[in-house]
Structure 1
């Protein structure tokens, strides 16, 4: 019985830690989402009217770094997942501040989006019915699937 309680407690802790790795923001009043990334970026659809950024793998933060925020040339991480999210009028700017790993972003299918890769990286966009704009600033592939 003690082992079962320990296993359930461990699973609960793991789920809580993973849930903290994602970032969500309501898209009420947002007409366009503009995404900029220096890493590969995958943009997919979901059924909620919100932005969801999947943080990727769980990285243990050293004790000395707790409480610090990522600050880069693109801004300051205000999501705790390595992104800067800022609303300007009816546009939401989503800037990836990380320089490694893949960015995975989920938005409603009817959302108007603009995705810009700012380095040697790939863009993949899947499932949108709204306006879609994709730009690879340097070199990189752009894959667009199931967009109408």
Structure 2
């Protein structure tokens, strides 16, 4: 199970100078070849290249109040329109909420964030992760790897 808030990741050239691109690629390769079930839970703000590696999990869950994207709305607006002033427009276009990402097949489920930090929330999240791992654990290794590959290949495809 991977619980990640990538909001503290290093932006831009500084990230590349620190070798983050290569580290992310290594993580994607390693995670896609794991022979055990993997569940990622997006909490907070996932807005960096590190968010890519989380998509290789067998199940990607997202808290209802989280956002998940490989680029922040501000960076996207700067890239597309050379101005951060259009960040709100970029956020709408990116579709960075759990519901929007479920439609694209990037996120498999939403976990209600109500009561975050309480024992009730912790139990609700633990139960959801348990259910996902129970389903995935019933698969053989070959079936698990094939399903993971198929899931990753259809992300964002409307015809899949």
TM-score (norm 2): 0.28
Structure with greater Cα Rg: 1
Q: Which has the higher contact order (CA 8 A, sep 6+)?
A: 1
> Whose strand proportion is higher, 1 or 2?
1
> Whose helix proportion is higher, 1 or 2?
2
TM-score (norm 1): 0.29
